[in-house]
Amino acid sequence: MSKSKGLTFKGGIHPSKDGKALSSSAAIQDAPLLKEYQLIIQQNIGAPPKLLVAKGDEVKKGQLIAEAGGFVSVPLHSPTSGKISKIDSIPGPMGIPVQAVVIAADGEDQWGELMESMDWKAAEPQAIKDRVRDAGVVGMGGAAFPTHVKLSPPPGKEIDCLILNGAECEPYLTADHRLMMEYPEKVLEGAAILGKALGVTDVYIGVEVNKMDAIDTLLAKADDYGVKIVGLQVKYPQGAEKHLISAITKREVPTGGLPMDVGCVVQNVGSAAAVADAVVEGKPLIDRITTVTGEPVKNPSNWRLKLGTPVIEAIKFAGGVVCEPGKVILGGPMMGFAQKSLLVTVTKNTSGILLMKKDEITQYQSVACIRCGRCVDACPMNLQPGSLSAAIESEKFDLAAKNNIMDCVECGSCAYVCPSNRPLVQHFRRAKAEIRKITKK
Interaction site with ligand SF4 (CB under 6 A)? 369-375, 378-379, 381, 383, 385-386, 389, 408-414, 417-420, 422, 424-425, 428
Distance in angstroms (rounded) separating the CA atoms of residues 199 and 276: 17
User: Distances from the Cα of 380 to the Cαs of 90, 205, 385, in angstroms?
Assistant: 36, 21, 11
Report the nearest approach of ligand SF4 to the CB of residue 393 (Å): 11
CB of residue 398 to ligand SF4, shortest distance in Å: 18
Report how far residue 162's alpha carbon sits from residue 265's, in angstroms, rounded to the nearest whole number: 5
CB of 238 to ligand SF4, least distance (A): 13
Beta strands in 156-220 (DSSP E): 161-165, 202-208
Q: Which is nearer to ligand SF4, 111 or 337 (CB)?
A: 337
Strand pairing report for 325-330 and 352-357: antiparallel
Strand partners, 191: none
Specify the residue, 357 or 429, whose C-beta has the smaller distance to ligand SF4. 429
Query: Shortest gap between Cβ of 265 and ligand SF4 (angstroms)?
Result: 21
Burial level of 115, CB count in 10 A (0-12/13-18/19+)?
middle
**C-alpha distances out from residue 289 to 140, 346, 364, 415, Å:** 10, 10, 33, 29
Q: 244 φ, ψ to 5°? A: -65, -45
Q: Considering the complex, state which of residue 106 and residue 410 has its C-beta at the smaller distance from ligand SF4.
A: 410
- The distance of closest approach from Cβ of residue 421 to ligand SF4 in the complex, given in angstroms and rounded to an integer, is 8
C-beta closer to ligand SF4: residue 13 or 289: 13
Give min distance, CB of 290 to ligand SF4, in A: 24
Q: Which is nearer to ligand SF4, 164 or 378 (CB)?
A: 378
* C-alpha radius of gyration, the chain, whole number: 21
Q: Which is nearer to ligand SF4, 338 or 409 (CB)?
A: 409
